[in-house]
């Protein structure tokens, strides 16, 4: 990284150098956010801005760069596991993020298949949860229903998490299926330091997700509003560490 800084300094005009630094050297004080609502910068603040060798797990990764809570970290040397159920998604992840393990599969309580409700080939609102789509008024937008293979999160981590590798943070964004994803993990074995998860319950005291994760030793350390009065995002910290 030091050599890259030197090359930038010697080869590029000052204004252009600053722009490239902001994109390539993401730790710059004016680092870009690739998330839809600044989640990567919140995580950067919680984790610390200088960590270069972290590991993430992104369930419902959607796209390698767009609306990504992990791409900023990838640019800064982190690596991880991206999990996206949308058919055809893996090819682009492998092209753009070859350093990651990229999986085209859904996550749920049991191995098998689940119905995947496709709002659009590139939609962020595709979901395994019919109830969620009905709740947010998008059930009528579903174009087709297809079977998609699913595995429990614990099984995926058993297969793909490198031996001895700690998970610095896990992102879960699966449009109403988030609780089922978290329930499918083995919390005795796989414990991210931080978890970011969306929840349709905006009252933290009534959140099933927060309640369950408290039972596993996690506590809310930050919140983010995604859709006012409809969807919140909770940042959870492993308080056992």
The domain ranges of the chain are: 1-31, 33-238
Domain 33-238, CATH class in plain words: alpha beta
CA distance 81 to 160: 8
Residue with tokens 């722009």: 19
Write the pLDDT tens digit of every residue in 135-181. 888 899 999 999 999 999 999 999 999 999 999 999 999 988 999 99
What average pLDDT score do residues 188-204 get? 96
Burial class (CB in 10 A: 0-12, 13-18, 19+), 86: buried
Residue 3 pLDDT: 43
Alpha helices (runs of H) in 79-203, residue ranges in sequence order: 89-96, 130-135, 153-160, 178-183
Cα angle 235-62-99, degrees, rounded to a multiple of 5: 90
pLDDT at 6: 43
pTM of the predicted protein model: 0.85
Work out the pLDDT band at 4, boundaries 50, 70, 90.
Answer: very low
């Amino acid at each position: 990284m030091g050599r890259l800084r030197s090359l930038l300094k010697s080869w590029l005009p000052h204004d252009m150098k600053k722009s490239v630094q902001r994109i390539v050297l993401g730790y710059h004080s004016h680092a870009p956010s690739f998330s839809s609502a600044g989640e990567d910068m919140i995580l950067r603040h919680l984790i610390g801005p200088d960590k270069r060798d972290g590991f993430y797990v992104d369930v419902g990764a959607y796209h390698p760069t767009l609306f990504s809570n992990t791409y900023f970290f990838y640019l800064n040397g982190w690596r991880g596991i991206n999990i996206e159920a949308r058919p055809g998604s893996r090819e682009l992840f492998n092209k753009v993020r070859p350093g990651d393990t990229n999986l085209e599969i859904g996550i749920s309580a049991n191995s098998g298949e689940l119905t995947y409700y496709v709002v659009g080939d590139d939609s962020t609102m595709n979901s395994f949860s019919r109830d969620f789509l009905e709740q947010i008024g998008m059930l009528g937008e579903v174009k087709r229903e297809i079977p998609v293979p699913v595995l429990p999160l614990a099984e995926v981590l058993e297969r793909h998490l490198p031996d001895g590798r700690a998970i610095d943070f896990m992102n879960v964004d699966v449009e109403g299926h988030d609780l089922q994803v978290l329930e499918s993990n083995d919390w005795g074995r796989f414990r991210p330091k931080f978890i970011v998860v969306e929840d349709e319950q905006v009252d933290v005291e009534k959140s099933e997700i927060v309640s369950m994760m408290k039972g596993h030793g996690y506590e809310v350390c930050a919140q983010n509003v995604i859709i006012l009065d409809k969807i919140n995002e909770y940042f959870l910290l492993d308080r056992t560490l």
